[in-house]
Structure 1
Amino acid sequence: MTFNLETERLILRDLRMSDLEGMFELDSDPEVHKYLGNKPVKTKEESQKIIEAVIDQYEKYGIGRWALINKKTGEFMGWSGLKLNTKMNGITNFYDVGYRLIKRFWGQGYATESGKKAVDYGFKVLKLPELYGITEMEHQASHHALLKIGLKYIEDFYFEEEKIKLRWYKIENK
């Protein structure tokens, strides 16, 4: 499955094996994983499995996270987009908006810009009735990005599977 969306500064496209170096840079950084359970990858093989899993999601569900590419430089910046989740916080089979950026791209509005495009895609193309967002409770930058995207904070909850406290957000298609 091929995706090719654009914003003012970004290209959002399907993840590819050619993104392996960028994915490894992203997910091997302990600071990137500070609010993700502190489990950075150790090998490129682990990053390859992540890309393969996303490609599998494209085939199974017609959606998955997208590569986040700098429009001017062509540089891989991380990922953004929608994902089908099977169960969390009492909700089953829901789509969430997510993003993860290489550290040097933090604080420049890329999560918000790409997240707004993902919400637009979810509502206009996939015709979803609602989308959710999830962030670790202490992750203030992600909290603010989700609010700027248009999601509303709902509640805090404890995610037993990962043993972390999370925040839950929602936006409805109106």
Structure 2
Amino acid sequence: MKIFAETERFILREILPIDVEGFFELNADPEVQKYLGNKPITSTTQAIDDINFIRAQYLSNGIGRWAIIDKKTNKFIGWTGLKLITEETNHHKNYYDLGYRLIKKYWGQGIATETAIASLEYAFDKLQANEVYAIADCENDGSNKILNKIGFSFIETFNFDGIKHNWYKIERKTRD
């Protein structure tokens, strides 16, 4: 098991097949899926397929979303991290995308902010990325607030799969 980063409260590690129950709880919730195409999964088989898809990204791209594991309970509570986007999105290709998704009972506790900051540190310090992008549905106030809070700059609004989304970018900060 590879651990990519740690925060005060969480371990950020590769997503594993043992995460299937938590992954199912996350992706089967219609409220979690509201701004993500509104397509909740309906079986653990779909959760396993999603986990395998992410694990294949680790092999193909050297990066993929990470499980958020609570240090106190050792429970899977969602995912965070980077994904290498290889298909064209808003006239960009081969870029790192920051994302996060939490089981609903963990919303509003600063978890997405805390783990997103750790993901950005990994992008800039370990991957030596010059920039990271993020996309949020224009209606998703929570996600838009998080991206602004952690230093992303709003670039523009664009149409993504027929829905208006905000396009964000953050650049590597100059270090002494």
| TM-score normalised by structure 2 residue count | 0.95
Could you tell me how far apart the structure 2 residues matched to 1:56 and 1:132 are?
A: 21
Alpha-carbon distance in 2 for matches of 1:155, 1:31: 26
Deviation of 1:76 (Å): 0.8
Does 116-125 or 42-51 show the bigger shift? Answer: 42-51
Q: Hey, what's the Cα distance between the residues in 1 that align with 2:71 and 2:148?
A: 25
Gapped runs of 5+ residues in structure 2? none
Separation in 1, partners of 2:5, 2:122: 9
Deviations 1:17-41 (A, max 9, x none): 0000000000000000011111111
What residue is the counterpart of 1:54 in the other structure?
54
The aligned residue for residue 113 of structure 1 is 114
Distance of 1:104 and 1:167 partners within structure 2: 26
Residues 1-174 of structure 1: matches in 2 within 5 Å?
2-86=2-86, 87-159=88-160, 162-174=161-173
Q: Which moved more, 1:147-156 or 1:74-83?
A: 147-156
Aligned residues of 1:37 and 1:164 also touching (Cα < 8 A): no
Unpaired runs of 5+ in structure 1? none
Q: Secondary structure at the match of 1:88?
A: coil
* Sequence identity percentage: 51
Give the superposed CA RMSD: 1.0
CA deviation after TM superposition for structure 1 residue 148, in Å: 1.5
In the comparison of the two structures, how many residue pairs are matched? 172
Distance 2:151 2:114 in 1: 11
Distance 2:3 2:164 in 1: 33
Structure 1 consecutive aligned stretches of length 4 or more whose deviation exceeds 6 Å: none
Shift of 1:3: 2.7
